[in-house]
């Protein structure tokens, strides 16, 4: 029986070879009709033919879809046949929305087929670094608007040559409607620049750049989502110069190695880490150093790990194949907290005095996108940064609010999110919004994401509760612009709701542990136990509130936290001597500064209270002589984790002491630090003390969460916050929770750090609005 069907599909179905797949499938099932992209609405398919063939065709759409496609919703409607079609065609895109939001695919690492062709001397794209097909290449970073067609990407300025056009129009070719496709005749080009802006004459800019790197030069390299700064990883002198030029005295640099075998010469790689390294997403993966580690200590000072990624573009593959070093530093070209440089003119201006050469191409980066960073904990990913390779894939929600919500995030490590229907779209990593340039970037990223989702306004603008965050001050202005309602969301409630949204639940006992978040009592929270629901929370306990002498200075110089935590437990002279003996480099101005700090504590002058878990870890790190000054976010705690590797917690007597203070469960962190001091005086090796302190914090948080879960009759405990990038703490807390027969959940699709805040804010705001 002849029939006609209209099929509407939403999900990741644009930019992943879906239309060529549909064409081949329709021809195979003897169907006539068309397939086309539909603006923000995904893909529309209309077919006529035998009804049984159409049913098999629809079944095959799901079962045989391209590996990078993801069908989230398929709507099928049967209609009387019209006989209007003579064959099956891929029709031009229609920008009319069908009301089913589509998803732009993330940027995809170079596929094996394209890599093979690029290295084949007989292929017309031999050594062409911008080679791509429907299965790989840039997507999000080049798209200007939907539907995803070449004319709406930054490739529109590169008209296809006859050979490329023939491939582009051939339904059986791998480059059929591959929008970024190009070749040396018609595509983007690389040039090697001197910092003065002069183009250096060279037959092969990539080979010359590799030679310059091996000679010890610093080279800026423009890739897919931005510009990297590259150097050798085996040369202390050039790494020291790089650190001085970019004012990164201690911050670990990510490195790129040409293949997995090379990575295994200097790092340990588990099966899960190998899978992540080789995936089409190609994030930076945090790996433990191996016993054969042969890179400079200046790559990641004071750490037992190294952040590694494999090449994900033709530029990277060719550069590393031409070089001799086992790996090269590939760090973002930006001052800490500022947006990564993506524009050639900006690079030539801002990098003039800090790099020796620049390898730049002439394809515009529409949406800058930093590299993602992932750490595998107990076989599952924990994101330090979710960006290239993952953005803008949404998180699917267990509810549909019917609202559109813009979440602005917090202060540091910011992302923005847009909640639309039953999906939440997170932006790429944005950074530190205390910087004007980054706040402007946030607004631009939000506007671009809204544009891609065909949104001209939103119903709600959600933001952090902290009144002084730049994003909190921006929220009312954006709300007025969109005719929306601003809603403030408590920092740690947002953390926990992002986790619940990720796992599709509406209630849990949450452990939120990080550096700082504004509490409704006006103090700095950061180690909290809550009963969390998507529209509300109950604060049940947490870490003891401790004085921070000098406020934010105590977050930079953790010796101040040592003083604050131990104040009142040692007499003034004894505390002063302890700080002198164990934290000698923790006070820039020596005895005079210590005297001022102790005076502040005595009089309560410029002293703020905080229950931050991050600040306690900082204090332990400082007291153990591991880190006395924070030069990058989380540094003392990260180095504490490194120092604890191989430690035996049973060698130090450090146990959690939980008390009831003000009706809430409280972990006594002063007692914990006194136990650390006692172990030090007994000359227990530092690695054992570090391991024991981390374990005590994890067990203390876990025991409090267990007690709250039992009293509230809740069976799930979840954790969120930057502290849960720590492998030992996360693992120990899980064991404590599961030991009581409770379900333990943590982030796997979103960062546990502040990169998840915007999603949590959007979810809370939508739920609050729904209940009103």
Q: Which residues are designated catalytic?
A: 19, 37
DSSP, residue by residue, 698-713: HHHHHHHHHHHHHHHT
Close Cβ partners of 429 (under 8 Å, ≥ 6 residues apart): 369, 370, 385, 386, 387, 413, 415, 755
Query: Is the CB of residue 378 less than 8 Å from the CB of residue 731?
Result: yes
Tokens of 210: 């590799």
Query: Is the CB of residue 535 less than 8 Å from the CB of residue 765?
Result: no
Instruction: Round to whole Å and give the CA distance between 77 and 274.
Output: 43
Q: What is the 3-state secondary structure (H, E, C) of 545-556?
A: CEEEECCCHHHH
Instruction: Round to whole Å and give the CA distance between 728 and 336.
Output: 28
Instruction: Round to whole Å and give the CA distance between 234 and 522.
Output: 48
Residue 418 CA: distances (Å) to CA of 2, 7, 350, 421: 43, 27, 32, 10
Signed CA dihedral, 603, 607, 611, 614: sign only: negative
Burial label for 279, CB within 10 Å (0-12, 13-18, 19+), is: middle
Q: What is the 3-state secondary structure (H, E, C) of 710-756?
A: HHHCCCEEEEECHHHHCHHHHHHHHHHHHCCCCEEEECCCCCCCHHH
Query: Is the CB of residue 79 less than 8 Å from the CB of residue 5?
Result: yes
Helix (H, G, I), strand (E, B) or coil at 235: coil
Per-residue exposure over 13-31, b if at least 16 CB sit within 10 Å of its own CB, e if not: bbbbbbbbbbbebbeebeb
Residue 449 CA: distances (Å) to CA of 223, 409, 578, 750: 21, 15, 53, 18
Query: Is the CB of residue 259 less than 8 Å from the CB of residue 310?
Result: yes
DSSP, residue by residue, 327-358: -EEEEESS-TTSPPP--HHHHHHHSTTT-SEE
Parallel, antiparallel or unpaired: strands 664-667 and 536-543: parallel
Altogether, the residues listed in the chain come to a count of 772
Instruction: Round to whole Å and give the CA distance between 8 and 719.
Output: 38
Query: Is the CB of residue 69 less than 8 Å from the CB of residue 58?
Result: no
Output Rg (C-alpha) for the chain, integer angstroms: 27
């Amino acid at each position: 029986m002849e029939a006609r069907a209209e099929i509407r599909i939403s999900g990741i179905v644009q930019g992943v070879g879906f239309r060529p797949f549909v064409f081949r499938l329709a021809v195979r099932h003897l169907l006539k009709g068309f397939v086309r992209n539909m603006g923000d609405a995904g893909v529309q398919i209309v077919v006529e033919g035998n009804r049984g063939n159409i049913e098999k065709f629809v079944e095959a759409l799901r079962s045989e879809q391209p590996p990078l496609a993801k069908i989230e919703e398929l709507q099928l409607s049967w209609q009387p046949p019209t006989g209007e079609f003579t064959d099956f065609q891929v029709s031009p895109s229609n920008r009319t929305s069908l009301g089913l939001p589509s998803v732009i695919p993330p940027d995809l690492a170079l596929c094996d087929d394209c890599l093979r062709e690029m290295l084949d001397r007989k292929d017309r794209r031999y050594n062409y670094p911008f080679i791509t097909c429907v299965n790989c290449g840039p997507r999000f970073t080049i798209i200007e608007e939907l539907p995803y067609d070449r004319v709406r990407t930054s490739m529109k300025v590169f008209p296809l040559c006859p050979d490329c056009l023939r491939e582009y129009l051939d339904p059986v070719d791998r480059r059929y409607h591959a929008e970024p496709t190009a070749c040396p005749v018609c595509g983007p080009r690389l040039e090697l620049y001197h910092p003065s802006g002069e183009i250096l004459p060279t037959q092969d800019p990539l080979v010359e750049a590799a030679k310059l790197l091996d000679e010890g030069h610093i080279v800026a390299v423009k890739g897919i989502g931005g510009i990297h700064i590259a150097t050798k990883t085996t040369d202390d002198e050039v790494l020291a110069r790089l650190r001085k030029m970019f004012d990164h005295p201690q911050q670990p640099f990510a490195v790129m190695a040409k293949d997995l075998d090379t990575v295994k010469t200097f790092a340990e790689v588990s099966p899960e880490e190998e899978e992540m390294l080789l995936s089409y997403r190609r994030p930076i993966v945090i790996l433990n150093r191996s016993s054969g580690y042969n890179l400079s200590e200046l790559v990641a000072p004071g750490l037992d790990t190294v952040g590694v990624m494999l090449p994900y573009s033709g530029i990277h593959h060719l550069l590393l194949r031409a070089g001799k070093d086992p790996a090269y530093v590939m760090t973002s070209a930006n001052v800490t907290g500022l947006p990564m440089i993506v524009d050639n003119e900006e690079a030539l201006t801002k990098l003039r005095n800090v790099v020796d050469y620049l390898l730049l191409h002439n394809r515009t980066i529409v949406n800058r996108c930093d590299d993602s960073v992932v750490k595998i904990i107990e076989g599952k990913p924990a994101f330090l940064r979710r960006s290239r390779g993952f953005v803008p894939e949404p998180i699917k929600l267990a509810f549909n609010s019917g609202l559109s919500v813009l979440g602005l995030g917090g202060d540091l490590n910011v992302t923005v999110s847009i909640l639309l229907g039953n999906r939440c779209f997170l932006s790429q990593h944005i950074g530190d919004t205390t910087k004007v340039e980054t706040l402007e970037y946030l607004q631009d990223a939000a506007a671009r994401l809204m544009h891609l989702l065909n949104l001209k306004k939103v119903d709600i603008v959600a933001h952090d509760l902290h009144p002084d965050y730049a994003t909190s001050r921006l929220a009312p202005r954006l709300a007025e612009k969109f005719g929306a309602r601003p809603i403030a969301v408590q920092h740690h409630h947002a953390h926990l709701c992002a986790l619940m949204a990720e796992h599709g639940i509406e209630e849990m006992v949450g452990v939120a542990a990080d550096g700082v978040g504004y509490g409704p009592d006006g103090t700095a929270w950061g180690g909290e136990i809550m009963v969390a629901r998507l529209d509300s929370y109950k604060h049940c306990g947490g870490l003891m509130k401790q004085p921070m002498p000098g406020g934010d200075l105590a977050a930079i110089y953790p010796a101040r936290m040592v003083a604050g935590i131990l104040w009142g437990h040692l007499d003034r002279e004894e505390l002063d001597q302890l700080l002198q003996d164990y934290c000698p480099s923790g006070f820039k101005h020596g005895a005079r500064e210590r005297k001022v700090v102790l005076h502040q504590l005595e009089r309560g002058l410029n002293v703020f209270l905080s229950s931050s878990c991050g600040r306690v870890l900082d204090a332990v790190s400082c007291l153990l002589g591991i880190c006395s000054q924070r030069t990058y976010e989380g540094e003392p705690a990260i180095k504490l984790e490194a120092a604890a590797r191989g430690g035996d917690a049973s060698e130090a007597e450090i146990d959690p002491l939980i008390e009831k203070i003000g009706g809430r469960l409280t972990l006594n962190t002063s007692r914990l630090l006194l136990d650390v001091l006692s172990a030090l005086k007994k000359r227990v090796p530092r690695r054992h003390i570090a391991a024991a302190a981390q374990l005590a914090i994890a067990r203390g948080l876990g025991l409090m969460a267990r007690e709250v879960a039992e009293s509230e009759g809740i069976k799930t405990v979840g954790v969120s916050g930057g502290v849960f990038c720590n492998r030992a703490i996360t693992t120990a807390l899980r064991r404590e929770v599961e030991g009581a027969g409770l379900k333990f959940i943590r982030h796997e699709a979103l960062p546990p750090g502040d990169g998840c805040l915007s999603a949590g804010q959007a979810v809370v705001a939508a739920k609050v609005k729904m209940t009103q």
